[in-house]
Structure 1
Amino acid sequence: MASTDRPRLAVRSPADLIAAVPFLLGFHPADSVVVVAMRGRRITFAARADLPDLADRCDLAGHLAGVVARQHAETATVLGYGPATLVTPAVDAVRAELTAAGLSVLDALRVTEGRYWSYVCTEPECCPPDGTPYDVGASEVSVAAVFAGQVALPDRAALVAQVAPVTGPARSAVRAATARAERRLAELRGQAPAADPRGERSVRSAGATAVRTAFRRHRREQPLTDDEVAWLSVLLTDEPVRDHAWARTDGRDADIALWTDVLRRAEPELTAAPAALLAFAAWRAGQGALAAVALERALAEHPGHSLALLLDDLLRRGVPPSDLDGWPAVGTPDVLRRRRRRRER
């Protein structure tokens, strides 16, 4: 699910909307139901769910509609990608739930193999029974999006690949660097002064320095060395260091690039914090799909990680980043923790 606070695209027809969807999501959907929400004449949010799940479970349609309604949207269009046998019941269920949530459904489309069909329009002159052809590649919307620097990957698998771990010699190099970093951390704790018997202040100071260096390097488009990645990933296992990095992470391209790089190169036992930080940066940037795949990786490898679980809950409920008023001036970790405590009462 993704906010759409990006360069504006002029959408004037169903074909234009179909062309815009991959750029709203970040990838071309398949076997999916997508809801595009609007406030006034502006697209404000796009949400996607897997078609087989929606076809089999009506409660997911209600969840999807609730997420969209939470964005303070006024109208929506539903698009189903796939065969009619699966798309039709899923789209019908989502339309009903959106209507029940108080949203006006402008149109509902089935999209497959270069054609679309409307479930709302019954006029054969504009919506022929054999579907209306469209060409995403020839659309002015696609051209404008590419010109604005927006990217639509071929499918969700390509998005998952962007956060996949490095392999081969790159993995071996980071593994060796991580062994050095763990010895360095042990020495740091062992050399801590008597006033800091467990080395906590020493670790936090080293962590603040490593985080500051990493941000500065990536904002100058300078990649981190293997030793820098390993040292940072080891230090991020300390919760205060992780929160220090979290409080300094926003939705800037450089922040997303930094945490993507660290996540891909970190050893598996050290991926939870960089994955969660990437998810937060992507969520802040309106890249909900990237945030989702980062959290999937975090929770697959570290199912109990507190920050990943908190962000996963925010993403699944469709909480918009704008709810964090004043960011980054406010202490965001504290804001989100208060939100979690209120939900648990």
Structure 2
Amino acid sequence: MSLSDLRVTSPAHLVAVVPYLLGFHPRDSLVVVGRRGHTLMFAARRDLPPADTPFAEVDAFAQHVAAVVARQTVDSVVLLGWTDERSSGAALVSAVADALLELDIPVGRQLRVADGRFWCYLCTDEGCCPPEGRPFDAEAAEVRRRAGFDVFTSREVLVASVAPAGDEGMRVATVAADRRLEELAARTPPGAGPLLGEIRRAGARAIGVAMARHRAGGTLDDDEAAWLSVLLAHTPVGEHALERAAAAGWQVQLWADLLRRARPELAAMPAVLLAYTAWRTGQGALAAVAVDRALESDPSLGIARLLDAVLTDGVPPSELDRVEAAL
């Protein structure tokens, strides 16, 4: 489901849509949704700080959220506190609203969501916001029908969806891929230049096969996936893949599949490619999870650190489109 395809018709509809914007059902979270007219343009989530967090820290948190939102092209925002029975999230939502208004960013509704119901933080009319809250199950069912799929039940489940699969077949195939690379090096003329050239050509072929297969709705077999994961560990191949990475759902599926299957020490570039394509398609939560995997595999990888900064600062994909159009 694309942000640009959605037209929110009521507060209950907005609450029902949020998990599809994030990719999972939030818990103990602040969710910020940016709108331009009637179109949803931006959605972001942050963990709610503990209820006893000092005011100075809450204010700093709110200022950071407001700065991220200010980088987006939106007319107004809606704030949602996804809470439990022990904490209303009211203080944080109020602080974020104040920080946004200081930046002249209009704040629309401020909603609390808990246990399948929602309330308006600012409404005191029980006819509008009864004490027991208002359900949104009918709207959730309608959004689910339109989307045609379920989202992950939590961020932890999203993380698990790209965790190492530990498949024995891939382990054996990766050992064979290592030998294949050694054989390629053995028959290449001496010198780093010729070997890098051969590796780049082999990588380009492997990437071409992977993209054609996934574009057609298929997947790589173990030998193909292992060979690609081994080649991507080499800079020329990783650069070639990044040059061809685009905002396409099938590319997100390609790199998510390879990330799950790759040997952990080979996970950095598949994770970077997943992070980049997920970010370009508006799947910020998945992009953040992928960046974490990349940095876990290789903390010094420059492109992973850059993507981490891009996501932390809330840089929208449209900014890259603007820069590319100016070149």
Q: Deviations over 1:136-170 (max 9, x none)?
A: 3x11x641453244642221122112211113xxx
SS at match of 1:52: coil
TM-score by length of 1: 0.86
CA contact (8 A) 1:247 1:328 kept: no
Q: Deviations over 1:229-251 (max 9, x none)?
A: 11111111111210111111112
Residue correspondence of structure 1 range 241-256 to structure 2 within 5 A? 241-256=237-252
Residue correspondence of structure 1 range 80-229 to structure 2 within 5 A? 80-82=81-83, 83=85, 85=87, 87-128=89-130, 130-136=131-137, 138-139=138-139, 142-149=141-148, 151-167=150-166, 171-194=167-190, 199-229=195-225
Residue correspondence of structure 1 range 23-38 to structure 2 within 5 A? 23-38=20-35
Counterpart of 1:8 in structure 2 is 6
User: What letter corresponds to residue 123 of structure 2 in structure 1?
Assistant: C
For structure 2, which runs of at least 5 residues remain unmatched after alignment?
none
Moved more, 79-88 or 96-105: 79-88
Counterpart of 1:342 in structure 2 is none
Counterpart of 2:47 in structure 1 is 50
Counterpart of 1:69 in structure 2 is 70
What is the RMSD of the two structures over their aligned residues, measured on CA atoms?
2.4
Pair 77,233 (structure 1): closer, same or farther in 2 beyond 3 Å: same
For structure 1, which runs of at least 5 residues remain unmatched after alignment?
336-345
1:238 aligns with 2:239: no
SS at match of 2:5: coil
User: What letter corresponds to residue 178 of structure 1 in structure 2?
Assistant: T
SS at match of 1:123: coil
Give the superposition deviation at 1:119: 1.9
Residue correspondence of structure 1 range 264-279 to structure 2 within 5 A? 264-279=260-275
CA contact (8 A) 2:272 2:291 kept: yes
Moved more, 83-92 or 246-255: 83-92
Give the superposition deviation at 1:52: 2.5
User: What letter corresponds to residue 80 of structure 1 in structure 2?
Assistant: G
SS at match of 1:233: helix
Instruction: Quote the Cα distance in structure 2 between the aligned partners of 1:133 and 1:122.
Output: 14
Give the superposition deviation at 1:62: 1.5
Give the superposition deviation at 1:99: 1.2
TM-score by length of 2: 0.91
CA contact (8 A) 2:274 2:290 kept: yes
Pair 144,121 (structure 1): closer, same or farther in 2 beyond 3 Å: same
Question: Which portions of structure 1, spanning 4 or more consecutive aligned residues, are displaced by more than 4 angstroms?
Answer: 194-198, 326-330
User: What letter corresponds to residue 155 of structure 1 in structure 2?
Assistant: S
